[in-house]
Amino acid sequence: MVVLHPLKVVITNLEDNLIMDLDAKKWPDAQTDDASSIYKVSVEFIELNTQALSSTSLIECALIDLQVIFLSAVLQLVPFSNVVYIERSDFRTKDSKDYYGLASSKSVLLRCASKFMLALL
């Protein structure tokens, strides 16, 4: 994740020294909630790249390894603390109906940290 024009935001109701690791998708369309999609992707990968294997046990081991590889390719751990940086363009002092960023009298969810909500007090 990159913030090109950072604006520092301090979350006042979160402990200063607390750092949590949150799961974040490495790309927006990655499906992490559907276990069958991981299986399907792994099976396709095996069919394309391990056709020479004839032993079922080797294919089963490869499938398990590919599931782990796929999950690590889809998810990354992102440290989360009481200090975050948002894009300057995601903040306005005056709110409007068509604006979905952080503004006075409005709360917003954070990407990859949807259980936390930012609100200006």
Per-residue pLDDT of 53-86, as tens digits, reads: 444 444 444 444 444 545 555 567 778 888 888 8
**CA 39: distance to chain centroid?**
20
Domain that holds residue 83: 6-26+52-119
Residue 63 lies in a domain: yes
Any domain includes 78: yes
**Is the confidence at residue 94, as pLDDT, over 70?**
yes
| Alpha carbon of residue 59 to chain centroid | 30
Whether residue 11 lies inside any domain: the answer is: yes
Whether 39 is covered by a domain: the verdict is: no
Q: Read off the pTM.
A: 0.55
Residue 39: pLDDT band (50, 70, 90) is very low
Any domain includes 32: no
- Number of compact structural domains in the chain: 1
Residue 26's pLDDT band, with cuts at 50, 70 and 90, is: low
pLDDT for the residue numbered 56: 44
Predicted local confidence at residue 54, as pLDDT: 45
* Average pLDDT, integer, range 99-119: 74
Q: Does 12 fall in a domain?
A: yes
Q: Which residue has the higher pLDDT, 54 or 32?
A: 32
Does residue 27 carry a pLDDT above 70? no
Residue 114 located in a structural domain: yes
Contacts of 24 (CB under 8 A, 6+ apart): 1, 75, 76, 77, 78, 111, 112
Region 92-105 average pLDDT = 84
CATH of the domain at 84: 2.40.240
In a domain, 93, yes or no: yes
With a pLDDT cut of 90, the percent of the chain lying above it is 0
